[in-house]
Structure 1
Amino acid sequence: MAGIYLHIPFCRKVCGYCDFFKNASLKHKEPLLKAMKKEIFLRKNYLNEPIETIYFGGGTPSILKIAEVENLLQTIYDNFEISKNIELTFEANPDDLSKEYLQGLKNIGVNRLSIGIQSFDDKVLEFMNRRHTAEEAIRCVKNAKQAGFDNLSLDIIYGIPNSDVEYLKENLRQLCELQPTHISAYHLTIEQGTPFGHLKKKGKLHEIADENSEKQYLFLVEYLQKQCYEQYEISNFCKSGKISQHNTNYWMQKPYLGIGPSAHSYNKEMRQWNISNLKKYITGIEKEDLPAESEELSVKDKFNDYIMVRLRTKWGIDLEYVQKTFGNFYLENVKKVLKENKEDFVLKNTTLLLKPERFLRSDYLIAKFFVI
């Protein structure tokens, strides 16, 4: 089974923290959608197995009209074998989700919504340059349930400058009152090239202290677990059976096809990424010359990828799989790192797991296993 990701790079406003490829102008929307449909056709043989997940991300997919979403989906259905139990996720901003729009999404087969709420504090939303209000966020979730959506993922951001555990507690209270089936909770990071990054460079904005970050994260995990959400990945929590299948497939290293500018693809043997430029992407597709770069994956690359994605999850890394797939050299490397860092990991039978209380240091600890 495999997945397809569609990158819709348009936004009406640029959020202060976002470092994804996006464009605040809709000038190229029609030619881009035409190019994306053509890319779907041109790459119909990239995945030689049924599609079990489709994911509209961005940017802001909900900037599209229902007919435009439907046309993209129909192009996929015309060119790929689709699983009967397809998970079809659509990212959306709260203020786009009118009752009519929600019903339209439901009618064309969308069965999972990922809604970018981020905060229930209007001042924080304004600070992040979000378009919606807390009231709109609450209303859109209720409307989505009324429209028949029973698989709802809500995003929230913590670690915001000048915030503390009390701020987070109130936001989590309001979040859980909406009873989503899935929650993605991300710590605010200030990336270069973003509006927040420019403010940081000028000395006008700073990340919160590490101690505050740790307090907020540990409180977040404890609070959501008490609300019966399972933490199955560092930033992702779900009710029973409601994991994000699409994202889990990334962590399970299943193949996927990325459509649109900046979208990434993976077929187990190579990685590929489309150019992050609207005009060049459109022109290249029109000429049937895919504007993308790629790299073949060595055994070392595949091992490092496996370590990187699996240690972020509740499934961890399987030592028997490491030996069988990569060989004794890589297994001994894992054992050596484990011996030197026993306090950070748990070994259950042949499965190696990162201790939950070490998740905040995950990047540093996971990198110890990499073979350079």
Structure 2
Amino acid sequence: MAGIYIHIPYCKQACHYCDFHFSTNLNTKTDLIDAILKEIELQKNYLGGETVETIYFGGGTPSLLSKQELSSILKTIGANFTVVAKPEITLEANPDDLTPAKLKELRAAGINRLSIGIQSFNDQVLKYFNRAHNAQMAASAVQEAQAIGFQNISIDIIFGVPNQSVNDLQKDLVRALEFKTQHISIYGLTIEDDTVFGKWEKQKKLTPLDEDIAAKHLETIMKTFAQAGYEQYEISNFCLPGFESKHNSSYWHGKKYLGLGPAAHSYNGQERQFNQAHNIKYIKQLTLNNLPCSVEILTNEDQINEFILTQLRLKQGLDCASLNEKFSHDIMYLKKTEIAQFTDLKMLDASGDFLKLTPKGKLLADFITEKLII
């Protein structure tokens, strides 16, 4: 089984924290959709005939697409790939786009899972982020989606905001849980150089949240969601039983996926492709029937590191036996000193064939991973 990701690189306005590829100029949207349709046709053999089980519209803001544009993309995928009878089809959306009429359009187009970019239910935080919605619009979007019949909804929340107290975060979490959505993704704020926040940090106008306080935030998140019946199946992702994101899980389990659109990435087991991160250049190449991508052949070391990096984030942990079988890499032996140290510190559970991060280990996941990769 495989997945397809479609990057829609348009936004109404730029959020202060975002460094994803996007444009606020929608004049090229029609040409870009045509280019994506062409790319689908040119890439029809990329997945090696594997059946597609998930389709994910990300961005940017794919909720800016019309029903007709979404339908044309899905129809072209269906004409060029074998797709399961009931694929998971996710669309990222901003609350300000999700009117009742828009939600009905999305359902009619075939979208069966929404990922709503709420980020916070605090109006001051939303203004600080330069989001286009407020807390009331966020709440209304979720409620309208539920009322119209969406039965698989995820919401995004950001924590680790400068000057955010644990109490402030707790209020956001409690509000998020009131809607009983099937899935919640929660991400720590990172300050990227090419963003407004990055500029403010250089100008000493912004000070990132202290790491110890950010760790307390994550502890609060894990405890609060566990008490509410949500499973932390991946470090940043929580769900009610049976509602894991199938698409994102495919990344963490090393499945093949095709990325379409500017700046999208693809993986077919042996190589990665990186699409041109420039809308006009992307469109021009496809107008000439050329794939607008560069290719990286993955070494055995690359694949080992990716296997460790992705699986260690999962609830089940790193499958050491599978790692050894696939890549002849006996991590239990090769990294026995590091594993013993983290086990003694109660950051890793090394029982059986799996290495699992403990709740304490999840607070330092990146550091632990860095010590375990080649």
Class of the TM-score when normalised by the shorter of the 2 chains: over 0.9
| Offset at residue 83 of structure 1 (A) | 0.7
- Checking the alignment, whether the CA contact within 8 Å between 1:94 and 1:116 is kept in structure 2 is yes
Secondary structure of 2:363's match?
A: helix
- Checking the alignment, whether the CA contact within 8 Å between 2:324 and 2:331 is kept in structure 1 is yes
Unaligned runs of 5+ in 2: none
1:347 and 2:350 are equivalent in the alignment? yes
Q: Which residue of 2 aligns with 1:8?
A: 8
Please give the residue correspondences for 1:225-236 in structure 2 after superposition, counting only pairs within 5 Å: 225-236=226-237
**Could you tell me the TM-score, scaled by structure 1's length?**
0.97
| Offset at residue 331 of structure 1 (A) | 5.1
Q: Which residue of 1 aligns with 2:129?
A: 128
Q: Distance in 2 between matches of 1:370 and 1:209?
A: 27
Q: Distance in 1 between matches of 2:329 and 2:96?
A: 53
Q: Distance in 2 between matches of 1:277 and 1:331?
A: 43
Q: Which residue of 2 aligns with 1:37?
A: 37
| Offset at residue 13 of structure 1 (A) | 0.6
Letter paired with 1:362: A
- Checking the alignment, whether the CA contact within 8 Å between 2:332 and 2:339 is kept in structure 1 is no
Q: Distance in 1 between matches of 2:148 and 2:300?
A: 47
Q: Distance in 1 between matches of 2:280 and 2:260?
A: 15
Please give the residue correspondences for 1:15-54 in structure 2 after superposition, counting only pairs within 5 Å: 15-47=15-47, 48-54=49-55
Letter paired with 1:106: R
Q: Which residue of 1 aligns with 2:302?
A: 301
Please give the residue correspondences for 1:259-298 in structure 2 after superposition, counting only pairs within 5 Å: 259-298=260-299
| Offset at residue 23 of structure 1 (A) | 0.5
Q: Distance in 2 between matches of 1:228 and 1:267?
A: 35
1:99 and 2:100 are equivalent in the alignment? yes
| Aligned length in residues | 371
Q: Deviations over 1:33-73 (max 9, x none)?
A: 11011000100110121100000000000111111111111
Q: Deviations over 1:297-329 (max 9, x none)?
A: 121111101000000111211221122111155
Q: Which residue of 2 aligns with 1:80?
A: 81
Q: Which residue of 2 aligns with 1:364?
A: 367
CA, structure 1 residues 216+331, in 2 after alignment: closer, same or farther (shift >3 Å)?
Answer: closer
Q: Which residue of 2 aligns with 1:162?
A: 163
Unaligned runs of 5+ in 1: none
Q: Distance in 2 between matches of 1:229 and 1:17?
A: 27
- Checking the alignment, whether the CA contact within 8 Å between 1:322 and 1:331 is kept in structure 2 is no
Secondary structure of 1:5's match?
A: strand
Aligned-residue RMSD, C-alpha: 1.1
Letter paired with 2:317: G
Q: Which residue of 1 aligns with 2:112?
A: 111
- Checking the alignment, whether the CA contact within 8 Å between 1:323 and 1:331 is kept in structure 2 is no
Q: Distance in 1 between matches of 2:46 and 2:223?
A: 42
